Amino acid sequence: MDTRKPLYYKLIAHGLLVAFGLVFVAPLIWLLLTSIKSDRELYANPPVLFPKTPHFRNYIDVFGAIDFVGMTWNTFFVSVLCVVGILLSAPLVAYACSHIDWLGRKPLFVVIIATLLLPYQVTMIPTYIIWNKLHLIGTYVPLIAPAFVSAGAGYYIFMLRQFFMTLPSSLFQAARIDGASDFRIYLQILLPLCKPVIATVAVFVFLGTWSDFLGPLLYLNDQEQYTLSLGLYAFMQTHYVMWEKLMAASAMFTLPIVVLFFFAQKQFIEGITLTGIKG
C-alpha cells in the first residue's frame, strides 16, 4: 500500500508553515530594518520598509546614548545567579517529591502545583513589603534570593518531578540496598540521567530572567543597577525618543536569547519530549 502523500498536500502544508513563520518573524524583521534606518526614513510618509543606505552606526551610537555594557552585565549577573539558584534548589524539591517516601509528600506537591494558580501580581505587594521591611529594596537580593529557595518555581519543580517519575524506582532501591544515601543517589545517579530536562530548565530560567521587566522595576532604584529591560524602558521615556537607537538596542537585547536557543535547542527539545506525564 502506497502511504506517500500527494505532492499538492506537501505544497499546501509547507506553504502554510512558511506563511505562519513569516507572521511570527515579521516583528523581528521590522525591528532589524528600523534599527538601520536614518531619522528621516523613520518618519517618512509613506513608510519606508527597506532603508536606501543602511545606518549601522546606530548600533555604535547606542553605547553613547545609554550604558548598554553596564546594563548587559547587570542582566547577565542576575540571570546567571537565578539559573544557579533554581538548579540548586528545584531538582532537590522535585527529587524529594518523586523518589523519597515520606509523610506529606503528595500534599506538599499539591501545594506546589497550587502556586501555579497564583499570578505574580497577587503576591507582588506583600512580597515587596517583606523586602522593604528587610531594607533590601534597591539591591539585587529580591531578584536573586527567591531562586535559591525555589520561590515561584512551581512549574520547574513540576517539570523536573514528572521527568524523575519516569526513571525506574528499582534503580534507586538497588542503590539504597548498597548503602547509598539519598543525597549520593541524587548526585551520582539522578542528575547524570536528567541532563536534558535540567538544561531545559536552565534555558527557561535564563530567558525568563533576561527579559524580566516587572521585578527590576519594583526593586531597583539606581540607574547603575538597571537591567536591560528596565534601561530600555527608561530610555524610551526620555523627552525625545531616538527610535532607531532604541531598535538597535532592542536588537542587541534580543540577540543573546536567539543565540542561546540556537545552541541549546537540542537539549531544549529533548527535555520537553522526554518529560513524562506519570503521576
| DSSP codes joined into one string, 82-96 | HHHHHHHHHHHHHHH
Over 60: is that where the pLDDT of 275 sits? no
Residue 8 pLDDT exceeds 70: yes
* Strand, coil or helix: 30: helix
Amino acid 227 reads T
Q: Give the domain range for residue 197.
A: 66-274
Q: What is the pLDDT of residues 166-199, one digit of tens each?
A: 888 888 888 888 888 888 988 888 888 888 888 8
Domain count, the chain: 1
Q: Within 10 Å of residue 192's Cβ, how many Cβ atoms?
A: 8
Rg (CA), the chain: 24
Q: Examine residue 133 and state whether it is found in any structural domain, yes or no.
A: yes
pLDDT band at 5 (very low <50, low <70, confident <90, very high): low
- Residue 147, Cβ density class (10 Å: 0-12 exposed, 13-18 middle, ≥19 buried): buried
Q: Is 180 exposed, middle or buried (0-12, 13-18, 19+ CB in 10 A)?
A: middle
**CA dist., res. 108 & res. 154, Å (int):** 11
Structure confidence by residue, pLDDT tens digits, 79-107: 999 999 999 999 999 998 888 888 888 88
Find the CATH number of the domain harbouring 215.
Answer: 1.10.3720.10
Most distant pair of Cα atoms in the chain: their distance: 77
Contacts of residue 227, defined as CB under 8 A and 6 or more positions apart, other chains included, come to: 71, 74, 75, 78, 212, 216, 220
Q: Within a domain: residue 207?
A: yes
Q: What percent of the chain has pLDDT over 90?
A: 25
Tell me, yes or no, whether 239 lies in a domain: yes
Answer whether residue 8 is part of any domain.
no
- Specify if 6 maps to a domain: no
Distance between CA 243 and CA 251 in Å, rounded? 12
- HSE at residue 236, side-chain half, CA atoms within 13 A, is 11
Whether residue 61 is contained in a domain is answered as: no
pLDDT of residue 271: 59
Q: Whole-prediction pTM value?
A: 0.84
pLDDT (mean) for 114-135: 90
Say if 130 falls within a structural domain: yes
Annotate 237-258 with b (16+ C-beta within 10 A) or e (fewer): eeeeebbbbbbbbbbbbbebee
Say which residue, 17 or 241, is predicted with more confidence: 17
- Across the range 20-35, mean pLDDT stands at 88
- Within a domain: 36: no
The C-alpha atoms of residue 131 and residue 118 are separated, in whole angstroms, by 19
